[in-house]
Structure 1
Amino acid sequence: MKRVIWLIGSISVFVLALSAYANADSQHYFAFTGEQHIAKALALTDQQKSEIKRIRSELKNTRQELRSRARHKNLFALDPSDSDYSAQVSLLADEKAERMKTKMLAKANAEREIYQLLTPEQQEKFTALKQERRKVRKMAKRKARIEMKLRRKLSCHDTGDAICRCCAS
């Protein structure tokens, strides 16, 4: 019981620290999820906004094309009793790897194009925003792991058993 109370207390302190960190700077990650927010934070010109919109549209089209190609071939549609089953699976794996590579390269090229559109001051701010976004994502993942552990811990006590696995040790 003491462990559960300690764990709940720790999580609440972590959540409070996370919200304080997010509110400390009004320009935190959640404000930069859309185009308008990024444009506002970087003070983009109308020309920059239209170019970025074009680049993002091209990236979206590339991703949709890759997604539509992926839907036609499915591992579950293959018959494991076929003599060339392993070769077919290998071919599907190679195709998926190639799609992932294309997707990653398209995203990197789009980001490079956007970065080149920016002035040096905007580039510095853009880099700072990316670093902040990484920190917040890392903290969110950590929070999710802690919450999952807590849910698992509490769910074992819902069984009504006198002694459960986690409390027996």
Structure 2
Amino acid sequence: MAQPIALIARSLVRERTRAGLSLGEVARRAGIAKSTLSQLEGGNGNPSLETLWSLCVALDIPFARLLEPQAPATQVIRRGEGTKVVAGQANYEAILLAACPPGARRDIYLLLTQPGADRESQPHPPGSVEHIIVTRGRALVGLISAPEELGEGDYICYPADQAHLFKALEPDTTALLVAEQN
């Protein structure tokens, strides 16, 4: 189990991001110094109950949400699904698959795979997430305990801090992998 300050830090970042507020705005609403909030989000410090309560009021969340670990979930978006924005003066559509949390690192890889050479990965550091879009072929992808079959244009997001798999189901299957660490 995570240390309380580490859990609180992740929760503060998650809830501030979810609310779409800046560090400065949350600090102002909570009546604390921006540097104090920055330290707390970084997992440093020993906040008082009053400080945490003020942050919950500023974020409009129940106090318990700061202490609840959020289990990362697997998300699959099939080709043609998702929230779409269409350009008015061009033949152009954008579908948001995932937004990057603040302070996260993202690395992007092109995967060139063949059947018979399955990639089973051990858990990465806590909080790691992988996003995969199959661009050609078919593959079995995701947590070893619950992989999903994906086709061209399908997207999956899963917690990479658990054992996971990429298994090509057709020759010359290609995919885009975005590895994210907080």
TM-score (norm 1): 0.22
The answer to which structure has the higher helix fraction is 1
Q: Answer with 1 or 2: which has the greater Rg.
A: 1
The answer to which structure has the higher strand fraction is 2
* Structure with bigger RCO (C-alpha 8 Å, 6+ apart): 1
TM-score (norm 2): 0.21
